Amino acid sequence: MAERVRLITGNHIIAEAALAAGCTFFGGYPITPSSEIAESLSRKLPEIGGYFIQMEDELASLAACIGASLVGHKVMTATSGPGYSLMQEHIGFAAMGEVPVVVVNVMRGGPSTGLPTKTSQGDLYQAKYGTHGDAPAIAFVPATVREAFDATVKAFNFAETFRTPVSILADEVLGHMIEAVEMPEPGSYEVVERIKPEDFSTYSHYDHATAQIGKPLANYGDGARFHVTGLTHDETGFPTNDPELIAKCHNRLLDKVTENADKLFWRETDGIENAEIAFVAVGTASRAARVVINRLRSEGRSVGLYRPITLWPFPADDLKNSISAAKTVVVPEMNAGQLVEEVRKYAAPATRIVQVNRFDGELITPDEIYASLKAALEEV
């Protein structure tokens, strides 16, 4: 067992997890603080007969991944804020064309070029609303290096079953932080293989009648000769302007995710039932929150943590129930206030919401969260 314990960074474990999940194709473009993922896979993919290509920009990176996914590969790209912005057009394309892809965003400070080497949680909303139109969104926010492994494997599994892009929102601290991890044994986690159609001659890439997931996916070159387009299309994949067919196409894409949200549900709670003070946090910010929670508990307070790991689709009902008894909800995050807006939507009207925001490139600290909470409690 001991030989499976490794000192490894978040970025490197994401690369390892991608291979464990069956990734055979990576297309990327260098960007801090995500480049170690590409570097790692540029060494490893050729060794297993996989494919690594450095493209000319981030648009091309995700485009190449989509092309490779359609010929049968499990694919991934990795980037950071500015690159994630450029990829948004193709995140929408993959959603519209129902193509499995995994996109890792190791978040850094923004807007624009912002803070290439410093941390942030500024892209929580970009992961949901970044691409134009009403596109479905699936995104995971891991908090530890070990959890980044699970999030990556799940991202591949869900990309395959939902046939849609899945984002992993790591951040600079998680990406570069070294933790001692007992690497999971192959077989100890689920890996979903792509389901091939039984008969290529009758294969239809689209079925707008249902929100069903886990449908087969043919590869270009195997005999199905199907059409994929970014245009709103009928079930043959051909563009349509018929309002009824348009609605069917769009509803299928969104319903796939909303009607199967229970399968994506993944969160951690700690003493949240009946807690007077509830912390809601994601990713590395939740680790600072934990320190505060322990401190408050030692002071005899009733405190709990609610931590979505699947951020999108947002666990609205579960959060609502979990924090219904809380008088105070604390939302620490490394941005100007994004997660807190979701919490406001689902918190009871009388709840006192304390938002603690830091977006100067530094990891949010337990002391500042503690101080903000104390100040808010004293105001009453």
Q: Which spans of this chain sit near other proteins (rule: CB under 8 A)?
A: 25, 27, 46-47, 49, 51, 53, 55-57, 59-60, 63-73, 75, 89-90, 93, 219-231, 236, 238-239
Q: CA torsion 35→38→40→41, rounded to 10°?
A: 170
**Cα distance between residue 133 and residue 66, in whole Å:** 19
CB of 51 to other proteins, least distance (A): 6
Residue whose CB is less far from other proteins, 55 or 291: 55
Residue whose CB is less far from other proteins, 17 or 68: 68
The set of residues, in sequence order, having a beta carbon less than 8 Å from that of 199 and lying 6+ positions away, is none
Q: If you compute the radius of gyration of the chain from its CA atoms, what whole number of angstroms results?
A: 21
CB of 226 to other proteins, least distance (A): 7
CB of 167 to other proteins, least distance (A): 18
Which amino acid, 276?
E
Residue with tokens 């990309």: 159
Instruction: Sort residue 72 into left (φ over 0), alpha (ψ -120 to 50) or beta.
Output: left
CB of 222 to other proteins, least distance (A): 7
CB of 55 to other proteins, least distance (A): 6
Residue whose CB is less far from other proteins, 55 or 377: 55
Q: Strand, helix or coil at 26?
A: strand
- Output the six-digit token pair for 72: 């049968």
Q: Strand, helix or coil at 348?
A: coil
**Cα distance between residue 150 and residue 157, in whole Å:** 11
Residue 94's nearest CA partner among 72, 48, 62 is: 62
Residue whose CB is less far from other proteins, 63 or 148: 63
Residue 151's nearest CA partner among 127, 131, 135, 134 is: 127
Residue whose CB is less far from other proteins, 70 or 141: 70
**Cα distance between residue 292 and residue 315, in whole Å:** 24
Print the SS3 string covering 43-96: HHHHHCCCEEEECCCHHHHHHHHHHHHHCCCCEEEEECHHHHHHHHHHHHHHHH
- Output the six-digit token pair for 228: 């994929």
Chain centroid, CA 136 distance in Å: 12
Residue whose CB is less far from other proteins, 66 or 155: 66
CB of 116 to other proteins, least distance (A): 22
CB of 164 to other proteins, least distance (A): 17
Q: How many C-beta neighbours within 10 Å does residue 56 have? A: 9
**Cα distance between residue 201 and residue 216, in whole Å:** 13
Residue whose CB is less far from other proteins, 18 or 70: 70
CB of 184 to other proteins, least distance (A): 24
- Output the six-digit token pair for 345: 């939507």
CB of 196 to other proteins, least distance (A): 14
CB of 327 to other proteins, least distance (A): 49
Residue whose CB is less far from other proteins, 214 or 221: 221
Residue whose CB is less far from other proteins, 204 or 372: 204
Residue whose CB is less far from other proteins, 38 or 141: 38
**Cα distance between residue 316 and residue 336, in whole Å:** 21
